[in-house]
């Protein structure tokens, strides 16, 4: 199974790095930093006590170094490939590195610390140095978990075909107000909480049933309104979408609100509102994160 890397810059230009690419890279042999990252452990010592007391740990930024060679012997072709690589990996812009091996796909945000360097030869070698401010690889797709579910109630008579009675129901809203959201990644992570109003709703909220920490909004919603609260590191915001117009409502978060994180494993989340709870739909979106590929 072939391992491939794809670097995509902010303009959408993508460079493939693999044993089958013009930019030949043996990923398992020629790439460093994909699965190892430094962790800083903070401890405290107390006079008269042996050892240290653990306080916290933080993962440092990830450095990835990629070496390979240009699959070209003609000088004109070599210069063309160098131009492509230099343009895609300009140190002035950020990019995304994607790892693909069969069904496994992971990606990480990064930027080039400097322009690619080259070693002349019949097959010129190149070196790419990337810096990843967030050390975690994430899935390429976002998971979506509805906190409110609907069950079908539509039935057909097998003998006489479609037959609708006076109490015909297409579906029923679940009475359950709590759902399990599983984080199968290696580390806790943020999420996006989407509140959707089908009618009048006052002061919607989402609570972690295990810790009792809550995201609570002090606002009223109309039918069709959508509120999105994101809790990821560096992405904390609250936005109201009404009639296709986006408005920041960060100030309407209650003072006791906590930007909930999804711990590794199962997380029990419950939703509600001061009034109009039956008019409220809630969905949680998240992407699992990993320390390696």
Q: Which residues of the chain have pLDDT under 70?
A: 148-176
The tally of CA atoms less than 13 A away on the side-chain side of residue 109 is 6
Q: Which residues pair with 98 in a beta bridge?
A: 6, 107
User: Cα angle vertex 236, ends 231, 238, to 5°?
Assistant: 95
**pTM across the whole model:** 0.80
Question: In this predicted model, what pLDDT tens digit does every residue of 133-176 receive, in sequence order?
Answer: 999 999 999 999 888 654 444 554 555 555 555 555 554 555 56
Contacts of 23 (CB under 8 A, 6+ apart): 15, 16, 17, 68, 70, 71, 81, 85, 126
Do residues 282 and 205 touch, judged by C-beta distance below 8 A?
no
- Give the pLDDT of residue 56: 84
Residue-averaged pLDDT of the chain:
88
- In a 10 Å sphere around its CB, with 0-12 CB exposed, 13-18 middle and 19+ buried, how is residue 139 labelled? middle
Helix (H, G, I), strand (E, B) or coil at 57: strand
CATH architecture, domain defined by 4-139: Beta Barrel (2.40)
CATH topology match: 4-139 vs 143-290: no
Residue range 143-290, CATH number: 2.60.120.860
Domain positions in the chain are 4-139, 143-290
Question: In this predicted model, what pLDDT tens digit does every residue of 209-236 receive, in sequence order?
Answer: 999 999 999 999 999 999 999 999 888 9
Of 181, 141, 147, nearest in space to 283 by CA: 147
């Amino acid at each position: 199974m072939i391992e491939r890397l794809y670097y995509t810059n902010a303009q959408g230009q993508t460079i493939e790095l693999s044993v089958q690419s013009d930019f030949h890279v043996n990923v398992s042999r020629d790439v460093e930093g994909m699965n190892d990252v430094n962790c800083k452990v903070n401890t405290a010592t107390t006079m008269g006590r042996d050892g240290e007391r653990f306080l916290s740990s933080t993962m440092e930024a990830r450095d990835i170094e990629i070496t390979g060679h240009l699959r070209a012997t003609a000088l004109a072709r070599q210069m063309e490939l160098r131009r492509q690589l230099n343009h895609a990996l300009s140190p002035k812009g950020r990019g995304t590195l994607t790892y693909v091996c069969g069904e496994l796909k992971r990606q990480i945000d990064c930027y080039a610390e400097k322009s690619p360097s080259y070693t002349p030869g019949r097959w010129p070698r190149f070196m790419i140095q990337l810096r990843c401010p967030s050390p975690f690889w994430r899935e390429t797709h976002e998971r979506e978990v509805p906190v409110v579910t609907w069950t079908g109630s539509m039935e057909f008579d097998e003998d006489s075909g479609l037959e609708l009675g006076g109490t015909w129901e297409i579906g029923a809203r679940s009475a359950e107000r709590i759902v399990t959201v599983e984080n199968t990644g290696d580390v806790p992570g943020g999420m996006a909480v989407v509140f959707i109003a089908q009618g009048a709703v006052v002061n919607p909220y989402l609570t972690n049933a295990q810790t009792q920490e809550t995201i609570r909004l002090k606002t009223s919603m109309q039918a069709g309104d959508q509120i999105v609260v994101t809790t990821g590191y560096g992405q904390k915001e609250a936005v109201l979408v009404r009639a296709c117009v986006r408005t920041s409502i960060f100030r309407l978060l209650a003072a006791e609100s906590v930007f909930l994180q999804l711990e590794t494993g199962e997380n029990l989340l419950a939703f509600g509102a001061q009034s109009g709870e039956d008019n409220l739909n809630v969905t949680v979106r998240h992407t699992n994160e990993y320390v390696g590929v």
